[in-house]
Amino acid sequence: MVNMASTPLNFMPDFDAERPGLPGAGILWLETLRQDGLERFNDLGLPTPKQEAWKYTRLKPFEDTHFQPVTDEDGMAALDDVPSLLPDPGGRPRLVFVNGRIRPSFWIEGDLPDGVHLDGLRDVLAHAPDWVEEYLGQLTGGDDQALVQLNTAMMDTGFVLRVEPGVVVEQPIEVVFIGGLTSQPVAYFPRNLIVLGEGAQASVVKYHAGLGVGAYFANAVTEVNLAPGARLNHYKVQAESLDATHLGSVHVRVAKDATYDSFTLSIGGRLSRNEVSVRLEGSGAHAGVNGAYLMRGNEHCDNTTVIDHLAPHTSCREIFKGVLDDQSRAVFQGRIVVHKDAQGTDGHQLCKTLLLATGAEIDVKPELEIYADDVKCSHGATTGQIDETALFYLRSRGIPEALARNLLVQSFLGEALEEIADDNIREAFTNKVLHWLPAACFLSEEWRGE
Amino acid sequence: MLEIKNLHVSVDGNEILKGIDLSVGPGEVHAIMGPNGSGKSTLSHVIAGRDGYEITGGRIIFKGEDLTGLLPEERAAKGLFLAFQYPVEIPGVANTTFLKEALNAIRRFHGEDELDALQFVKMVRKKTEELGISDDMLKRAVNVGFSGGEKKRNEILQMAVLNPSLAILDETDSGLDIDALKIVSEGVNKLRSPDRSMVIITHYQRLLDYIVPDKVHVLANGKIQRTGGKELALELEEKGYAEFDGAVA
């Protein structure tokens, strides 16, 4: 049996009581999966700075918060309007979760073609189709990361997207996770599963939005399986409340000639970590892992990526750009591992950060591990401040200093945002960036966004 | 238009300008020539209001008002324009966006309505036509991937759009081949008007073959050493700056 006393998180006893009510209760393989996750989590404990991968991100402030399970009341919190990321949901499919509870009334089915199956995790598990067992937990099983194990034990919400071979989903699917609006700190554990059949294509936009203040903890895990020739555009905006903790990870398996393309925009949250780990398992597999982080106050944001090249002629491209103001901190850890058989690997990684204040800090740790000999790999990292000459140039044309600074920040982030292939999504993300900038500076109409 | 009186400027405690006097009337074109390190660029940056220069004495009067306490954007709004020796590249910001932001900021400063996208495009198209600049330059990011000549033409286009009453051209000829120099000079000449004064800062005489100044000043060792007509430039071309350069290390 599990020794609860060793659990370093003080919310665990409450959640243990919740477990019979979690999705898929009574399914044997799932119970085993959860139990295994819980035991591993208890063995591992929460990460500490003594672990190399957690050297720069401390969970201390979050350990002291007493998180409660989400109640029905929390999940049904009054909501006039859904903070949609993409303008005009129209015929676009959209799923909405509030504090981890799915809200059917905000669900837009959209114009999904035949062969696309989109549902909440709870509903999918209620029917317990065989295929789910084949995928759920398969990419996280060997993981020694405590927070992933915690999610495996506690997964209480999330979505499942399965696209049958050859089906191309034109409309981006938006999934909104709303946090906040609760009277006490709550924790929820979204577990998402995306499975694309051979040659299938889809775009998924995850929007983690915080409403109001209040501390909450979102521990999200997404597993992505891409069959040969499939393509997933996987976009995420993390705009949590100022007191929120967001610890998420994405685990991806990319088969021959398939492409995983992601962009993570982090613009809010007291403490956040977004991990992406990609296994390029077949020749011609490609991963684009990109992101931007904009932090102020005493926010902390960590982007950690691991890309494993396991087959010949695989490629990856990573561009992360950040803007840090006040006392905020960011971490970028990018590991690219080229395994013995992965000849002809092409890998590029770039991390650039703009520091707007002397109190801001970035820790960058690129790691290339190369075991093959015919490999093209590069990485680069820079940290700088606003270019005073460029600032003077803009001001000498009559542009007020604050607006000039905003233009230069936007210019700086442009290189990363350009990696977003879809025009509508790139525009939506750019608008998010503009709204992060000091509001007084949206002087003419295009700067107001919308 | 511009009156500079006994201007002293230091950078990090070193005095660069040691008492400049200069008077430019409406519609006049003045050339300031001088050897490297004479203080030419310092003078242009100080007039435009760049940080990092300490004015230890003297005044810069523009249209009757002392500029020295004003921000660079305020000076621009009041009709001052500096064409840069090295125009700055700003990736990800379209030239039109940049120009429109600048023009509308200046209009707001004067309490005028901002131009909307359509009005702006109409106005800027007229300017590009007059100057013979392709519209393609408007869509591109500010100065990114521009040739030396294109960058300088872009400066001239900005000047045409912002319509300043005083333009300072800082080493506009640097880095240009003779064809580009001609094109840029033509642009400048088109913008000459009785309401617009220009100060052309240059090391070489050749620019003045194309933009003929009313007056030529020789700046050396932080001071205007001599003032004359356009023939002074030819004299400098022949004799060099040695005569004035004695004090410069």
Q: What does the H/E/C string look like for B105-146?
A: HHHHHCCCCCCCHHHHHHHHHHHHHHHCCCCHHHHCEECCCC
SS3 at position B154: helix
pLDDT at site A166: 97
**What distance in Å separates the CA atoms of residue A98 and residue A218, rounded to the nearest whole number?**
11
SS3 at position A333: strand
Regarding beta strands B2-11 and B54-62, do their DSSP bridges make them parallel or antiparallel, or are they unpaired?
Answer: antiparallel
Q: Which of A127, A416, A420, A440 is nearest to A261 (CA)?
A: A420
Q: Which residues of B touch A401 (CB under 8 A)?
A: 71, 73
Q: Which residues of A touch B88 (CB under 8 A)?
A: 387, 389-390, 393
Six token digits for residue B214: 């009313």
**What distance in Å separates the CA atoms of residue A161 and residue A93, rounded to the nearest whole number?**
12
**What distance in Å separates the CA atoms of residue B20 and residue B42, rounded to the nearest whole number?**
12
SS3 at position A172: coil
The number of CA neighbours under 13 Å toward the Cβ of B137 is 23
CA distances from A94 to A87, A90, A107 (A): 12, 10, 6
CB contact under 8 A, B73 and A392: no
pLDDT at site A60: 77
CB contact under 8 A, B105 and A400: yes
Å between A432 CA and nearest CA of chain B = 16
Write the CB contacts of B59 (distance below 8 Å, at least 6 apart in sequence).
B3, B4, B5, B6, B7, B66, B68
Q: Which helix (H) or strand (E) holds B230?
A: none
pLDDT at site B248: 45
Å between A358 CA and nearest CA of chain B = 19
A393: nearest CA in chain B?
A: B88
Contact of A206 with A193, CB cutoff 8 Å? no
Å between B25 CA and nearest CA of chain A = 22
CB contact under 8 A, B51 and A392: yes
Taking CA B74 as the corner, what is the angle to CA B72 and CA B78, rounded to the nearest 5 degrees? 115
Six token digits for residue A109: 């089915």
The number of CA neighbours under 13 Å toward the Cβ of A312 is 5
pLDDT at site A247: 94
The backbone torsions φ and ψ at residue B239, rounded to the nearest 5 degrees and listed phi first, read: -95, -15
The backbone torsions φ and ψ at residue A385, rounded to the nearest 5 degrees and listed phi first, read: -120, 175
Write the CB contacts of B123 (distance below 8 Å, at least 6 apart in sequence).
B115, B161
Q: What would the pLDDT profile of A93-123 be if each residue is shown by its tens digit?
A: 999 999 888 888 888 888 899 999 999 999 9
Write the CB contacts of A106 (distance below 8 Å, at least 6 apart in sequence).
A79, A82, A94, A96, A176
Regarding beta strands A375-384 and A345-355, do their DSSP bridges make them parallel or antiparallel, or are they unpaired?
Answer: parallel
- Residue showing tokens 């696209």: A163
Between the two ends of chain A, the Cα-to-Cα distance in Å is 54
A80/B contact by beta carbon, under 8 A:
no
CB contact under 8 A, A407 and B90: yes
Indicate the pLDDT class of residue B93, thresholds 50, 70 and 90: confident
Six token digits for residue B113: 């309505």
**What distance in Å separates the CA atoms of residue A136 and residue A371, rounded to the nearest whole number?**
30
Contact of A307 with A333, CB cutoff 8 Å? no
A361/B contact by beta carbon, under 8 A:
no
CA torsion angle for B154, B155, B156, B161 (degrees, to 10)? 90
**What distance in Å separates the CA atoms of residue A279 and residue A428, rounded to the nearest whole number?**
29
The backbone torsions φ and ψ at residue A408, rounded to the nearest 5 degrees and listed phi first, read: -70, -35
CB contact under 8 A, A415 and B91: yes
Q: Which helix (H) or strand (E) holds A146?
A: helix A146-154
Q: Which of A103, A85, A351, A352 is nearest to A238 (CA)?
A: A85
- Residue showing tokens 């003594």: A50
Write the CB contacts of A17 (distance below 8 Å, at least 6 apart in sequence).
none
Sheet holding A375-384, edge to edge: A101-102, A94-98, A173-180, A201-211, A231-239, A259-268, A286-295, A315-324, A345-355, A375-384
pLDDT at site A449: 37
**What distance in Å separates the CA atoms of residue B10 and residue B18, rounded to the nearest whole number?**
9
**What distance in Å separates the CA atoms of residue A26 and residue A49, rounded to the nearest whole number?**
37
Å between A321 CA and nearest CA of chain B = 14
A45/B contact by beta carbon, under 8 A:
no
Q: What would the pLDDT profile of B6-17 be if each residue is shown by its tens digit?
A: 999 999 999 999
What Rg value do the Cα atoms of chain B yield, rounded?
18
What stretches in chain A show pLDDT beneath 70? 1-15, 61, 88-90, 143, 439-450
What Rg value do the Cα atoms of chain A yield, rounded?
21
Q: Mark out the alpha helices in chain B (DSSP H runs).
A: 40-48, 72-77, 95-109, 117-131, 136-139, 148-162, 178-190, 207-210, 231-239, 242-245
pLDDT at site A81: 81
Q: What would the pLDDT profile of B23-70 be if each residue is shown by its tens digit?
A: 999 999 999 998 888 899 999 999 999 999 999 999 999 999 999 989
**What distance in Å separates the CA atoms of residue A398 and residue A444, rounded to the nearest whole number?**
14
**What distance in Å separates the CA atoms of residue A122 and residue A102, rounded to the nearest whole number?**
9
**What distance in Å separates the CA atoms of residue A87 and residue A101, rounded to the nearest whole number?**
23
The backbone torsions φ and ψ at residue B86, rounded to the nearest 5 degrees and listed phi first, read: -120, 85
Contact of B162 with B196, CB cutoff 8 Å? no
Six token digits for residue A396: 């000498």
**What distance in Å separates the CA atoms of residue A375 and residue A355, rounded to the nearest whole number?**
33
A211/B contact by beta carbon, under 8 A:
no
**What distance in Å separates the CA atoms of residue A263 and residue A252, rounded to the nearest whole number?**
14
Å between B88 CA and nearest CA of chain A = 6
Residue A171: other Cβ atoms inside 10 A: 19
Six token digits for residue A108: 């837009």
